[in-house]
Structures are given as C-alpha cells and as structure tokens.
Amino acid sequence: MSNCVLFTVLLIKVSVSVLKKYKDVEGVVKMEEVNGEELVKRFAEEMEEMLGRKMKSVKVSIHSFEYYNSMLINTVDENGNPLPLGGEFLLEPNEHFNKLPVNTQQSNIQVPTNVYNRDPDILNGVYMSEALNDVFIENFQKDPTLTWQYFGSSTGFFRLYPGIQWIPDENGVSTFDCRNRNWYIQAATSPKDVVIVVDVSGSMKGLRLTIAKHTINTILDTLGENDFVNIIAYSDYVRYVEPCFKGTLVQADLDNREHFKLLIDGIHVKGEGKVKNAMKESFRILNEVCQGSLCNQAIMLITDGAMEDFQDVFEEFNWPERRVRVFTYLIGREMTFAENVKWIACNNKGYYTHISTLADVQENVMEYLHVLSRPMVINHDHDIIWTEAYMDSVAQSLLLMTSVAMPVFSKKKETLSHGILLGVVGTDVALKELMRLAPRYKLGVHGYAFLITNNGYILSHPDLRPLYKEGKKLKPKPNYNSVDLSEAEWEDTEEKLRTAMVKGDTGTLSLDVRTSVDKGVIISLFFFWVLLGYGQYIFIGNVSVEDGLHDLLAPDLTIASEWTYCETDIDPAHRKLSQRQAVVQYLTGKEPDLKCDVQLLEQTLFDAVVTAPMEAYWTALMLNTSGIDEGIETAFLGTRSGLMRFQSLFLSLHRSFLTSTDKENMFTLDHFPVWYRRAAEYPAGQFLYYMPRQDIRGTVEEIPLLSKHTHSQNTLFPLFPAMFSRLTNERLPEVQHHESMCVCLCVYYLRVSLFDYQAMCKMHSHSVSNARPLLSVRTSWPLSFSLSASAHKKKGDILQPCDTEYPSFVYEPSVKETNSIIKCGRCQKMFVVQQIPESNLLMLVVQADCDCSRQHCDRMRSQKIRRRPESCHAYHPQENADDCGGASFISLSASIFFMCLTFSALFS
C-alpha cells in the first residue's frame, strides 16, 4: 500500500474517531459569535487597569553615611576585608527576575565610574532616598508582577530594587548613567524642538573637533521620539549636515539620530567661523516650522569662540519673549571668548558650559535638561510618562520592556524659583505581560493584538522582529524600537488603521490585509481589525471537571506553556509550577486561590475530552507496527485552547518537530502553530503538504534540499480539531542544484509582492559612506535559504537596517506552469515554476540572488501623523533664569561688547 493511500485511510479513521466523540458531547456545545469591538474594549480596560497599578507604584514621596554600592558588594581586598561601601549582601536566584541573583529585601546603589561615589551630593541623595526601600518592597508585595523599580538621581546615582551585583564591563568600569536613559529624560522634560549649531571653522581642528562631535552625539542621546531636531554646521557659510533635512525639523527617533551620528563622524573643518548667519537660520527653522513638538524650543551652540556682533539677531528673532532658549558649549581649554559665549546663553534663558576634555562632555550636556525641567518643577506638575519599547539591559536579557516614570522635585519654598529636579522614579513593565491580557484563544487562529505609541511606533506586534543574528549571538537591531505600524501592517497604504489608533478613535474598521503565515513564505487573505478572520465564532463546551482532568493528564497531551491558564506569578510559591501543573492544582482544589481563566479552562477540558480517543488509537498503532508504513513518523493535533496531542509512531526516530526550540510549530504568545494556521484556511477534507522551516535552514551549498531520505514532509488534513501527521519524503523526486541556480520542491502559490521594513542587509564596510542607504531593494525568495552561492558573511561585511521588497505566494491552483523575470534596479533574475500533479506541490527553479540599493529623501523627510503629548511645560513666570552657568545675568552693552572683541583680537 502506498504512503498516500495508507495515510488517507489513517486520517479518515482518526477523523471518524474524533467526530464520534464530538457527537457524544454535542448536546452541551454552543457556538458564540465573538464581538470584536467588545473584545478590544475589554482588553484595553484590563491593560489600563494593569498599567494603573504600575503608575501607582511610582507615585511615592521622598524623604558620615554608608550604603551598599552594587559594584562593590560581596567583594574583598587582598587581605580578605570587605571593600568600603561593599560588605555582605545576600543574593538569591529569582525566577521572576530572569533567574538573576537578587535581594528582594533591599535595594542598592549604582554609581557611574566617572562620578565620585563619596561625593557629598551623592551621599546626601542616597540618604534622602533610603526611605524608598520600604516603598519598593511594599509595592512588590501588593503587585508581584512588578519587575525593576528604581530612582535615578540628578546627581548621577541609581537606586535599584531588588538589589543586584552590578557587573562592570571588560575594562572594569560602569558606564551606565541613569540620567542618559530615556525614562529619565522624558520624565524630566517636556517635548522639545532642538537645532544643534556646530562650528566647523579651521580653529576647531584636532581635539576640539573630537570633543564637538562627542558633544553632539551626547545631545542626540538625550532626545526621544517626542522630540524634533536638526543640525547646522557653519564656517564661512551655513550648511545642513543632511541636505535632505534643509529648512525643517525631523523626529528624533532612533533611525534619524543614528543617521545624524554617521554624518557628524565625517565632518571636516575649514575657513573662518561666522555664527551670525547660522543663528538666523536656526531661528527661522524654529519660528516657521509647522511640525515638531511645538513645546520647548532650544538652540545648542557648540563653538570655540564667538567674535561677531550677534546681538541684533536675538533682538530680531527672540527678544523680549525669549521663547527659544540658547545653550552654549565652549570647546577647548582657551577661555578668551568665554564671556561672549556665556552672554549668549544668559540673555536667552539658556545655560553656558565649558568643555575642555572628553570627560567633561557628559556632565555638561546634562545641565540643559535641568534648565528645561524648571517650569515643570516650579509648577509641581507631576507628569507620568511611558517610554517606547527597549531591551532590558539591566536584567541582561532580550525581553522587550517599557518604563513608567515621573519626576521628583524639591519642594523647598526658598529654592522654588530655581526649579530643582531631584531625580526620576520609575518601574519597568515587560510587554509580554501586557500581551497576556489579550489571550490567543479569544482572538482565533489569525487574530492578534498589538500596542503602539502616540507616535505610531510599535510596542508589541507579532510581526515586530527586534533582533537579528550575528554569528551565534542575537542582537537588537539598531532601529528595533522605532518601527512604525505602517511598516508591519504594510497594506494599510492609506494609513486608516494607523491614523485611527494614533488619534485614539474607538469602533470597528474593516481592511483587506495580506499577512504572512510562515514568515513571508506563505500568506493568506483575511480581514477585520484585531479579529482577523477564523476567530468570529467560538465553541463553548461543558464537560465535568472529573472527566476533563482525567483526559488532561494523558501522557500524549500538552498545553501551551506560554499561555496564562492560571496566573503563577502573583504568589512566589507558584512560580515554579508549569501551566499544566497549576491547572491541575486549581481544579483539584489544592490551590483554590490561584487566579485562573475559567473560560479557557472550560475550553481546554472540553478539547481534552473530545480528543481523548486519539491516545488509545495511536497506542494501538504503535503496538501493531506491521500496519504502519515506515514513511509515517509522527501524528499530532492541536485545538484552539492551546492543547496539543502528538505521538511518535516510531520511537527510534529522532523527533526534531514540535520541540520547545521550534517556536513556529508551537502555541506561543505571538501565534498559533504554522501548521494549524495553514490547515485552518484550507478546504476541509483535502490534503495539504507543508515543509517545516527548520528543514531548510541551510544554504544551497550546505545541504541538498529535500534530497532522498534527508528531510521530512508534513501532510496536513484540516478538520475539528486540526490534526496532522508527518511523513518522510521517500517517494518525492530528488532535487538538483547548480552554483548558478537552485531547484526545490515547494507548495503551489501565486507570486505577490511583500515588503519588509525591518530587514537587515549586508553592506561592504569599504563602501559605507557617511549617509547610509535607507532603502535597499533586495529580492528574497519564499523559502528561508540563501539562493546565492556566496551567501556566507564575508569579512568586512556589516549588517545595517534596510527596506526590502520580496515575492511571496498565495495559493493558486489554476496556474499549472509559469516563468518570469524579476527586475531589481539594473539586476534581474529568472524563475520557472511547474506544478506536480495530484498535489499542492510545485517545482521551482531560480537563478542566483541580486541586490541593489538607493536612497530616498522623501521617505527620510516624511512626517507621519502622531499625537503630541497632552502636557507642555515650556514657561513659568517665576523661573529664575539668572542661573545660567556659574554667572549672574550679564547685560552686554554695545561698548563693552566691542571692547571684548578688541581684547579677543589682541590675543587671537
């Protein structure tokens, strides 16, 4: 008997067995239609409640001293004595904190290496913030889902709960400075529009230029997605470092900041420094721009001196309101022009600093944040901010997080006008914890929930790919947290969905959307915002707990380990329980206080009872191996409740499928298994061949793709519940390949174009210019192997973010054979497709890969719709602007000004 005939008989028997059991319980089954709008509303309310708890945890009051320095704890000197500020500090691995050794009874202090850890300001601040320790512990007891809680001081120290041992870098230093973190900067200031003006005249050569570049990069690092920026360089004439951004401000997202850094790295010095025209151009941008934060406005002047008569510029553009603050940074050891540069800042509500070495840059740049925070501090307006997504670097993991933070002010009346910021208090929230509140079983096989920021950037989305692989290491992409929703929901060409979400509109919205079923390999058509097809109806079954428990404990059954059937994170005693263990403990009454999803448990028990006949059937097959052709390897099924049953019919075979490392074929937080999704959209009663991705990971050179006896093929047979078996590909034809082309078997689909706005492209290091290409049109192919014989990473190649267009395929049985040429700039490639009879397989022959790149200024300049933060603190009448950099207010008359110029000229 052939494989296909035997397999058909096998699945028909399976189908009859399961459907018979379903008939037995059909009387207690009802079908309910899912209301997408109500579902989204409920998810939002639950998330809002959870986020509200996080915000409450940061609303706290701050009240010869020793403290625990996180870099010195549990270390001794050469004589075995504890180091000062060290001492014994109990640390125990904790599952909730990524198995890191922590102390949940004590916070401790991290101080950057460049900050003296016994400075009086540090000691006073640590003492003042010690009362936070009890608050942190109490918060954690009230809400055990909390992760890291912290206070970042304006003086530079960082109080972290739970306490950890801080590991220095390979040079033995700690470069982490809490004041550089996005949560600190966003909480400490309102949104800002910034024009950076840098002197590139001949006198700025050597070390001065190096310091100036570092200063610019440090300023850029203090900006976020709610801020807008541009950079102007001046000498004899004024030029924009990025001509594409001439006359406008661009959003200070990660892409644009990194782009500016590349450009700044390549600037050169020449000519005479004339600042007047550069200042005029800066004011024009800030006065005329209709896009931006429309809140704080500032000019950052970086120079080694200012000799022109520039007072009339401020009279024309900025006085008397002084709406634009001017911050000045005098570069180099020379102090000849200090008074001139200081005068500019002090007469425009800014701040003056002198930067003579690279080590001075960090502290001096941070001063401008304290000035911008003054109106907020004086007004005692406690803004609470949420940051964009970021990788959890403190926990040394690759979890996407967001932070909630708020500023802490000095409330002393005698210092009110100075607006003294004490620091910022905050806590981290793992985004996966938020997404657990939108469970997969409620959304259906192709449904998903996602979160975006007010700027339209993705916080969480199943198509967000924040990491890339370099060698054996996973690393965050340079632009991982500035991926716009339109770059994942790319067929929302008119941005209806994005606009509605950014504006905060409610209701329903229908869209025709193509989505990737298998990472761009195969796509399906579906519709409806959030409930995207195959999720409009849900079975509600009712079986006894006793029957369900009996079947739930079967050895061939598992439930989705990443789903939350029962909340195990609330009580530390439950954290070691697997989800199935927690369910059993709850249902048997051993842990009645566990918080469980009753609806999901009902569905899971129902599915366990309905699919119970499979265990006996598969066992009988194993005992009677003579009835099984050796081509059949594994049988498995899955249900909407995350339940899986699978059985290896030959124990001697190596099972590389349905393992914990193969996320694509498991129920995860992000998706149903790919085989489940494929079968759900396929006509019932037909066979569907599917090739798992892990079988095709190698390049053409590394493995002969689908050659005889080498890899496996899956046949899918959709029914209720989804059920499939795995076959070896013994009877499939052998595959040939040549260095200029490859030939493979794949499923039969019609070519369509897809776009990947999160791709990483190889760039030869010698060809990387100051301005990196923002669009690399690269033709990929529907299977995840390289089509190029030279696909291995070459020495000197680097990976950079790029946008790609690539073909994918929609199932189309009417076309039996086709060939075509794909053009890519001046490159092209040819492919031929031919259907294999009586299957959904086809033969694909394709030429080697091609790659072309080009820049797009329009895309760089584009400003998508965004929602500005509701509050703005740019002005307060009680602000004392005399504190402008160690000098009182300076009134620079024309005569004194020219005397300064004469004096400067004598010593220049």
How does residue 724 score in pLDDT terms, banded at 50, 70 and 90? very low
511 and 549, same domain (yes or no): no
pLDDT at 529 over 70: no
Average the pLDDT over 483-493 and give the result.
Answer: 84
Assess if residue 820 is contained within a domain: yes
Q: Which one-letter DSSP state was computed for residue 103? A: B
Instruction: Average the pLDDT over each of 55-69, 336-350, 491-505 and give the range with the smallest value.
Output: 55-69
Backbone angles phi, psi at 221, to 5 degrees: -70, -15
Report helix angle 598-610 to 3-24, nearest 10. Answer: 120
Query: Which residues are 321's β-sheet partners?
Result: none
pLDDT at 787 over 80: no
pLDDT at 560 over 70: yes
161 and 243, same domain (yes or no): no
| Amino acid 384: pLDDT | 84
217 and 117, same domain (yes or no): no
| Amino acid 586: pLDDT | 95
Of 487, 513, 535, the one marking the end of a domain is 535
Instruction: Average the pLDDT over each of 129-133, 334-338, 489-493, 600-604 and give the range with the smallest value.
Output: 489-493
CATH number of the domain where residue 214 is located = 3.40.50.410
Tokens (6 digits) for 188: 């400490």
pLDDT at 650 over 70: no
pLDDT at 597 over 80: yes
Tell me the per-residue pLDDT of 355-371, one tens digit each, with 9 for 90 and over: 999 989 988 998 999 99
Tokens (6 digits) for 756: 């990947």
The secondary structure element, H or E, covering residue 195 is strand 192-199
425 and 339, same domain (yes or no): no
Tokens (6 digits) for 579: 């989800």
Average the pLDDT over 838-848 and give the result.
Answer: 65
More confident residue, 59 or 637: 637
pLDDT at 513 over 80: no
| Amino acid 57: pLDDT | 67
pLDDT at 263 over 50: yes
Assess if residue 874 is contained within a domain: no
| Contacts (Cβ under 8 Å, ≥6 apart) of 904 | 305, 307, 336, 337, 340
Tokens (6 digits) for 701: 């050179």
| Amino acid 626: pLDDT | 64
Q: Where are the alpha helices (DSSP H) in 445-535?
A: 496-503
Domain containing residue 57:
50-178+386-431
pLDDT at 697 over 50: no
Assess if residue 405 is contained within a domain: yes
How does residue 767 score in pLDDT terms, banded at 50, 70 and 90? very low
How does residue 576 score in pLDDT terms, banded at 50, 70 and 90? confident
| Contacts (Cβ under 8 Å, ≥6 apart) of 652 | none
| Amino acid 564: pLDDT | 92
Tokens (6 digits) for 881: 């602007």
Indicate the length of the chain as a whole number: 908
Instruction: Average the pLDDT over each of 355-364, 387-396, 405-414 and give the range with the smallest value.
Output: 387-396
Q: Where are the alpha helices (DSSP H) in 411-540?
A: 431-435, 440-443, 496-503
Instruction: Average the pLDDT over each of 673-687, 826-840, 873-887 and give the range with the smallest value.
Output: 826-840
- Alpha carbons 250 and 145: distance in angstroms, whole number: 37
Average the pLDDT over 508-533 and give the result.
Answer: 52
| Amino acid 608: pLDDT | 92
Tokens (6 digits) for 185: 């900067």
pLDDT at 284 over 90: yes
- Alpha carbons 531 and 540: distance in angstroms, whole number: 18
| Amino acid 700: pLDDT | 27
Q: List Cα–Cα distances, 454 to 214, 386, 487, 839, 886, in angstroms.
A: 30, 10, 16, 48, 38
How does residue 847 score in pLDDT terms, banded at 50, 70 and 90? low
How does residue 706 score in pLDDT terms, banded at 50, 70 and 90? very low
| Contacts (Cβ under 8 Å, ≥6 apart) of 589 | none
Average the pLDDT over 484-488 and give the result.
Answer: 87
Instruction: Average the pLDDT over each of 184-188, 397-401, 873-877 and give the range with the smallest value.
Output: 397-401
Assess if residue 899 is contained within a domain: no
Strands (E) in 324-479, as ranges, are 325-331, 352-355, 385-386, 390-391, 400-409, 421-430, 451-452, 458-460, 467-470, 473-476
pLDDT at 684 over 90: no
Average the pLDDT over 391-403 and give the result.
Answer: 70
149 touches 421 (CB < 8 A): no
97 touches 103 (CB < 8 A): no
Q: Which amino acid, residue 807?
A: P
> How many alpha carbons lie under 13 Å from residue 787 in its C-beta half-sphere?
22
- Alpha carbons 477 and 483: distance in angstroms, whole number: 10
pLDDT at 22 over 60: yes
Cα 576 → chain centroid: 28
315 touches 857 (CB < 8 A): no
| Amino acid 821: pLDDT | 67
Instruction: Decide: helix, strand or coil at residue 842.
Output: strand
Average the pLDDT over 577-589 and give the result.
Answer: 94
Tokens (6 digits) for 764: 């030869």
Nearest 5 degrees, angle CA 76-CA 82-CA 83?
80
Give residue for tokens 């019932």. Answer: 684
515 and 554, same domain (yes or no): no
| Amino acid 269: pLDDT | 95
350 and 284, same domain (yes or no): yes
165 and 253, same domain (yes or no): no
Assess if residue 767 is contained within a domain: no
How does residue 489 score in pLDDT terms, banded at 50, 70 and 90? confident
516 and 627, same domain (yes or no): no
565 and 528, same domain (yes or no): no
Query: Which residues are 804's β-sheet partners?
Result: 756
How does residue 322 score in pLDDT terms, banded at 50, 70 and 90? very high
575 and 607, same domain (yes or no): yes
835 touches 745 (CB < 8 A): no
271 and 332, same domain (yes or no): yes
Assess if residue 847 is contained within a domain: yes
More confident residue, 375 or 45: 375
In the chain, how many domains are there? 5
pLDDT at 228 over 50: yes
Q: How high does pLDDT run on average in the chain?
A: 76
Instruction: Average the pLDDT over each of 60-69, 173-182, 462-471, 803-812 and give the range with the smallest value.
Output: 60-69
209 and 165, same domain (yes or no): no
Assess if residue 901 is contained within a domain: no
Assess if residue 636 is contained within a domain: yes
| Amino acid 811: pLDDT | 63
Cα 792 → chain centroid: 27
Give residue for tokens 């070495």. Answer: 357
Tell me the per-residue pLDDT of 31-87, one tens digit each, with 9 for 90 and over: 676 665 565 566 666 666 666 666 666 664 444 457 899 999 998 888 888 888 888
pLDDT at 795 over 70: no
| Contacts (Cβ under 8 Å, ≥6 apart) of 400 | 389, 390, 391, 392, 430, 431, 432, 459, 460, 466
pLDDT at 193 over 90: yes
> How many alpha carbons lie under 13 Å from residue 701 in its C-beta half-sphere?
9
Q: Where are the alpha helices (DSSP H) in 354-413?
A: 361-379
Q: Which amino acid, residue 716?
A: L
Cα 632 → chain centroid: 41
Instruction: Decide: helix, strand or coil at residue 788.
Output: coil
419 dihedral zone (left: phi>0; alpha: psi -120 to 50; beta): left
604 touches 559 (CB < 8 A): yes
468 touches 799 (CB < 8 A): yes
| Amino acid 725: pLDDT | 44
Q: Which one-letter DSSP state was computed for residue 378? A: H
Q: Which amino acid, residue 450?
A: F
| Amino acid 419: pLDDT | 81
pTM of the complete model beyond 0.75: no
- Alpha carbons 781 and 844: distance in angstroms, whole number: 11
Average the pLDDT over 384-399 and give the result.
Answer: 72
More confident residue, 788 or 244: 244
Furthest CA-CA distance within the chain: 108
- Alpha carbons 600 and 606: distance in angstroms, whole number: 10
